[in-house]
Amino acid sequence: MKVLVATEKPFAKAAVDGIREIVEKNGHELALLEKYTDAAQLKEAVADADALIVRSDKVTAEVVEAAKQLKIVVRAGAGYDNLDLAACTAKGIVAMNTPGQNSNAVAELAIGLMIYMSRNQFTPGTGKELKGKTIGIHAYGNVGRLVAQIAKNGFGMNVIAFDPFVPAEKLEAEGVKACASIEELYANCDFLSLHIPATAETKGSIGKKLVGSMKKGACLVNTARKEVINEDELIEVLAEREDIKYVTDIAPVKVDEFKEKFGARFFATPKKQGAETAEANINAGLASANQICDFFATGNRKFQVNK
Ligand code: 3PG
Query: Quick check: CB of 285 below 6 Å from ligand 1?
Result: no
Neighbour order of strands in the sheet with 29-34: 29-34, 2-7, 51-54, 72-75, 94-97
245-248 and 191-194 as β-strands: parallel, antiparallel, unpaired? Answer: unpaired
Mean pLDDT of the chain: 98
- Give the number of the atom of ligand 1 that is nearest the alpha carbon of residue 56: 10
Closest alpha carbon to 80 in 197, 248, 205: 197
Are residues 291 and 27 in contact, defined by beta-carbon separation less than 8 angstroms? no
Give pLDDT tens digits for 114-164: 999 999 999 999 999 999 999 999 999 999 999 999 999 999 999 999 999
Give the pLDDT of residue 250: 87
Instruction: Give the distance, in angstroms, between the CA of residue 110 and the centroid of all CA atoms in the same chain.
Output: 11
Compute the distance between CA of residue 226 and CA of residue 248 in angstroms, rounded to an integer.
Answer: 8
Q: How many CB atoms lie within 10 A of CB 201?
A: 10
3-state class (DSSP) for residue 152: helix
Give pLDDT tens digits for 72-125: 999 999 999 999 999 999 999 999 999 999 999 999 999 999 999 999 999 999
Compute the distance between CA of residue 105 and CA of residue 109 in angstroms, rounded to an integer.
Answer: 6
Strand partners, 164: none
- How many angstroms separate the alpha carbon of residue 99 from the centre of ligand 1? 11
Query: Quick check: CB of 78 below 6 Å from ligand 1?
Result: yes
- How many angstroms separate the alpha carbon of residue 197 from the centre of ligand 1? 11
For ligand 1, pick from 272, 282, 288, 305 the residue to mutate: most ligand atoms within 8 Å of CB.
272
Give the pLDDT of residue 20: 98
Query: Quick check: CB of 275 below 6 Å from ligand 1?
Result: yes
Query: Quick check: CB of 58 below 6 Å from ligand 1?
Result: no
Task: Provide, rounded to the nearest whole percent, the portion of the chain with pLDDT above 70.
Answer: 100
pTM above 0.85, yes or no: yes
Give the pLDDT of residue 25: 98
Residue type present at position 153 = N
Are residues 63 and 88 in contact, defined by beta-carbon separation less than 8 angstroms? no
- How many angstroms separate the alpha carbon of residue 84 from the centre of ligand 1? 16
Give pLDDT tens digits for 242-259: 999 999 998 999 999 999
For ligand 1, pick from 55, 73, 283 the residue to mutate: most ligand atoms within 8 Å of CB.
55
Query: Quick check: CB of 79 below 6 Å from ligand 1?
Result: yes
161 φ, ψ (degrees, to nearest 5): -150, 155
Give the pLDDT band of residue 307 (cuts 50, 70, 90): confident
Answer yes or no: is pLDDT of 42 > 90.
yes
Per-residue buried b or exposed e for 265-290, using 16+ beta carbons within 10 Å of the residue's own CB: bbbbbeebbbbbbebbbbbbbbbbbb
Give pLDDT tens digits for 193-214: 999 999 999 999 999 999 999 9
- How many angstroms separate the alpha carbon of residue 276 from the centre of ligand 1? 8
Average pLDDT of the segment spanning 211-235: 98
3-state class (DSSP) for residue 160: strand
